[in-house]
């Protein structure tokens, strides 16, 4: 847990610096928001060890969600501070680590046949397209847009 906390803090710092370069938010301005985000994550992880039936990501979403709803004391301040962190800036380090882990699957990837490569493209297209299409149909039926 301590190890995870340190890693989370480190990624938080990387994201704050990325947020500075990419979105012009000074690290000092971004720091409180990032501390809150790390805190939500740690609380979520803690709850996950207590009640592991629910996935960690669900716990973490729930904690962050509750802390930013109007019923939670100080929610306006929390929303304002976490709002300083651009969600794209926080996603960039994730993809960087994903890139660095890529090489380990390259050997197995080379051994795959062409069929499975084609099908995986079809599968990703299918899930994206159908979810979009179904959502769009419902919105259209409801006359939303």
Sites for another protein among residues 52-81 (CB under 8 A): 55-58, 60-70, 72, 75, 78-79
46 contributes a contact to another protein by CB under 8 A: no
The span from the CA of 39 to the CA of 78, in Å, is 12
Residue nearer to another protein on the CB measure, 10 or 52: 10
Q: Give the Cβ contact number of residue 62 at 10 Å.
A: 15
143 contributes a contact to another protein by CB under 8 A: no
Q: Provide the minimum distance between the beta carbon of 76 and another protein in the complex, in angstroms, as a whole number.
A: 9
The helix-helix angle for 56-68 and 75-82 (nearest 10°) equals 120
Tokens of 21: 């370069």
108 contributes a contact to another protein by CB under 8 A: yes
Interaction mask 25-44, another protein, x per CB under 8 A? -----------xxx-xx--x
Q: Which of 26, 27, 46, 102 binds another protein (CB under 8 A)?
A: 102
Q: Which of 3, 50, 53, 143 binds another protein (CB under 8 A)?
A: 3
User: What secondary structure does DSSP assign to 29-73, as a single string?
Assistant: HHHHHHHHHHHHHHHHHHHHHHSTTS-HHHHHHHHHHHHHSTTST
The span from the CA of 85 to the CA of 23, in Å, is 9
Q: Provide the minimum distance between the beta carbon of 84 and another protein in the complex, in angstroms, as a whole number.
A: 11
49 contributes a contact to another protein by CB under 8 A: no
């Amino acid at each position: 847990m301590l190890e995870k906390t340190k890693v989370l803090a480190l990624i938080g710092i990387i994201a704050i610096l990325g947020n500075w370069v990419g979105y012009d938010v000074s690290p000092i301005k971004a720091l409180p928001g990032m501390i809150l985000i790390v805190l939500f994550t740690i609380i979520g992880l803690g709850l996950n060890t207590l009640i592991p039936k629910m996935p960690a990501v669900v716990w973490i979403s729930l904690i962050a969600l509750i802390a930013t709803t109007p019923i939670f004391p100080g929610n306006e301040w929390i929303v304002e501070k976490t709002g300083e962190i651009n969600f794209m800036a926080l996603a960039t380090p994730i993809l960087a680590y994903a890139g660095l882990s890529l090489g380990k699957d390259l050997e197995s990837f080379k051994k795959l046949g062409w069929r499975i490569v084609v099908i995986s493209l079809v599968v990703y297209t299918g899930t994206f397209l159908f979810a979009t299409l179904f959502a769009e149909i419902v919105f259209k039926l409801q006359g939303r847009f």
